[in-house]
Structure 1
Amino acid sequence: MAFGSRAAGKHRGSSRLSRKTAGYAGIAALATTGVVGSLAGPAFAASDKAPSMEDTGLNAVVTAEDLQGQIEAQADAQEHAAEAAALKAKAEAEAKARAAEAKQKAEEKAKAEREAAERAAREEERKRLNTFVVPVEDSYVSTQWHAGGGMWSSGSHTGIDFHAASGTTVHAVGTGTVVEAGWGGAYGNNVVIKHADGTYTQYGHMSSLSVSVGDQVSAGQQIGLSGSTGNSSGPHLHFEARTGAQYGSDIDPVAYLRSHGVDV
């Protein structure tokens, strides 16, 4: 049974309005389902005129996969940036720690070297202050301490005499300061030295002097030449050890020299 007036067996194609409406529906469906935007191309091609943005209500066709990919790429970039920043911070911290450790080691080394140098200097000074020698080399004691006789006003010898020809070099027996240098009456040309331990040594009858009051002398330093000036029976060196600078404070000079390591 036929309906309407259309001829049987023949159908007319869709009208232009119908095709355009279908294209619009296709765009909306693609936007809703996430189908790749380029697939909507045929719908537009089927129409004589592509719908405007006002017609569709869409600014751009973006798929869910595109959006997800952009989000993941951005997340990856942020993660890589954070990792790079963390690695940089770690490297800087390690470099700073190494620099601090190197600085500390250098300071400790410098301190150890200073302390070693100070110890060496103290030891050297101790040796210098405690080094004593004989006043005349290759000599011997010709007159002992406290020997009696009329030659000495005190009635006994206040020092010891070392055999020495005139002009023999006379040495300071130890490090000290010259407190007297010049004519000493019965002692003739004499020198008195104060040593670091507070004791004094005296050298008499010399022909000439090589030092002056206030001079700092060391053990073995020449202080003059032997002779026979003052109350003397012939060339020799009169040597005294004293507790003070003046006459009358004499102590045993042989024991004094031996206590300082000098073989007499």
Structure 2
Amino acid sequence: MAFTRATGKHRRPKQPSRIRRAGAGAAGIAGLTAAGVVGTLASPALASDGDQSGEAHDTGLIRALEAQGDNLAQTMHEQAIVQETAELQAEAETAAKAEAAKIKAAAERKAAEAKRKAAAEKARQKAAQAREKAEKERAAKQQAKAAASRSAPRESAAPAPASGGYVLPVDGSYVSTGYKVGGGMWSSGSHTGVDFHAGMNTPVKSVAAGEVVEAGNGGAYGNNIVIKHKDGTYTQYGHLNSIGVSVGQSVTAGQQIGLSGSTGNSSGPHLHFEARTGPDYGSDIDPVAYLRQHGVSV
């Protein structure tokens, strides 16, 4: 008759699947086994049964080790999650810092541009004020000179040559830009008259007797005068600084009709002089030849 020992423990069948679970459960059990923990703790239990077959017994130790391995695996998993979370957070912080730096740089550029524009506008206003002031001062001086000229006794007309009563429009002057000279300054592509050398506010005279048919702003000519002469020809005087006659007024040869200047499309003070067959632009003829035909030395 066989008896079993009353140890309170019962032999269990082999559990290769549970042992495999313990082996796959974590590196922790493998580490513990490698350290000899399982061998050391399990040996007395196996030896106490007197079983030399090498079969594993469910002494509770394996379950404890399995639980410990599971805990270790869980801990490692949690640590991996914590590490991954930290990396993601670091990436997010880096991206946020980069975006903040980008926004800050854009704001600084915008502020610098606004500052530059404000400075440019201030400089522009200052320059405009300076020009306006200079223009007012220049206009005041010109008005004073014109008033003095009007109040002074008029110059007597220069003696008219016996050959026709014509004189130079500016005493003692010379032609500084010839007739039909080409260039981009003139809309027609060439000079429709001649320029007589003259400083600012030099007296300008009618070359012959006639009637004033135009006196005022002539567009590109600035302040200009057009006079019709007795032979049916016309003469024009452009870029004047001031005008001393009016439309309908009769003038004599050598009579002062205005002061030279640089109004209209002009590069500096001078007198633009034209001889025409009609009163309007485009009817010009050679002014030097015209004056010479009337006995004027040019």
For normalisation by structure 1, the TM-score amounts to 0.51
Partner SS, residue 166 of structure 2: coil
Q: Tell me how far 1:128 sits from its aligned partner.
A: 8.7
Specify which of 248, 251, 256 is matched with residue 285 of structure 2: 251
Mapped to 2, the partners of 1:220 and 1:229 lie a distance apart of 23
1:204 paired with 2:238, answer: yes
Contact 1:168-1:225 within 8 A present in 2 as well: yes
Mapped to 2, the partners of 1:182 and 1:155 lie a distance apart of 24
Residues 219-234 of structure 1 aligned to structure 2 (within 5 Å)? 219-234=253-268
Q: Relative to 1, partners in 2 of residues 1:129 and 1:175: Cα closer, same or farther, differing over 3 Å?
A: farther
Q: Which runs of 5+ in 2 are unaligned?
A: 1-159
Q: What amino acid is aligned across from residue 287 of structure 2 in structure 1?
A: P
- After superposition, the C-alpha distances for 1:93-149 in whole angstroms (9 at most, x for unaligned) are xxxxxxxxxxxxxxxxxxxxxxxxxxxxxxxxx989930000001111000000000
Aligned position for 1:138: 172
Contact 1:128-1:175 within 8 A present in 2 as well: no
Aligned position for 1:26: none
Mapped to 2, the partners of 1:231 and 1:174 lie a distance apart of 26
Aligned position for 1:261: 295
Aligned position for 2:195: 161
User: What fraction of aligned residue pairs are identical, expressed as a percent?
Assistant: 73
Residues 1-264 of structure 1 aligned to structure 2 (within 5 Å)? 130-264=164-298
Partner SS, residue 130 of structure 1: coil
Q: What amino acid is aligned across from residue 137 of structure 1 in structure 2?
A: D
**What is the aligned residue count?**
139
Q: What amino acid is aligned across from residue 178 of structure 2 in structure 1?
A: Q
Mapped to 2, the partners of 1:182 and 1:208 lie a distance apart of 9
Contact 2:161-2:167 within 8 A present in 1 as well: no
Mapped to 2, the partners of 1:165 and 1:150 lie a distance apart of 23
Contact 2:276-2:283 within 8 A present in 1 as well: yes
Q: Which runs of 5+ in 1 are unaligned?
A: 1-125
Aligned position for 1:27: none
Mapped to 2, the partners of 1:150 and 1:167 lie a distance apart of 27
In the TM superposition, structure 1's runs of 4+ consecutive aligned residues that sit over 4 Å from their partners are: 126-129
Mapped to 1, the partners of 2:297 and 2:197 lie a distance apart of 16
Partner SS, residue 225 of structure 1: strand
Mapped to 1, the partners of 2:163 and 2:248 lie a distance apart of 17
The CA RMSD over aligned residues, in Å, is 1.6
Mapped to 1, the partners of 2:236 and 2:164 lie a distance apart of 18
Mapped to 1, the partners of 2:163 and 2:233 lie a distance apart of 12
Contact 1:129-1:196 within 8 A present in 2 as well: no
Contact 1:202-1:239 within 8 A present in 2 as well: yes
Q: Relative to 1, partners in 2 of residues 1:242 and 1:176: Cα closer, same or farther, differing over 3 Å?
A: same
Partner SS, residue 157 of structure 1: coil
Mapped to 1, the partners of 2:260 and 2:207 lie a distance apart of 15
Q: Relative to 1, partners in 2 of residues 1:207 and 1:128: Cα closer, same or farther, differing over 3 Å?
A: farther
Aligned position for 2:65: none
Q: Relative to 1, partners in 2 of residues 1:258 and 1:243: Cα closer, same or farther, differing over 3 Å?
A: same
Partner SS, residue 207 of structure 1: strand
Q: Tell me how far 1:180 sits from its aligned partner.
A: 0.2
Mapped to 2, the partners of 1:129 and 1:250 lie a distance apart of 23
Mapped to 2, the partners of 1:188 and 1:128 lie a distance apart of 34
Q: What amino acid is aligned across from residue 217 of structure 1 in structure 2?
A: V
Partner SS, residue 240 of structure 1: strand
Q: What amino acid is aligned across from residue 192 of structure 1 in structure 2?
A: V
Contact 1:207-1:225 within 8 A present in 2 as well: yes
For normalisation by structure 2, the TM-score amounts to 0.46
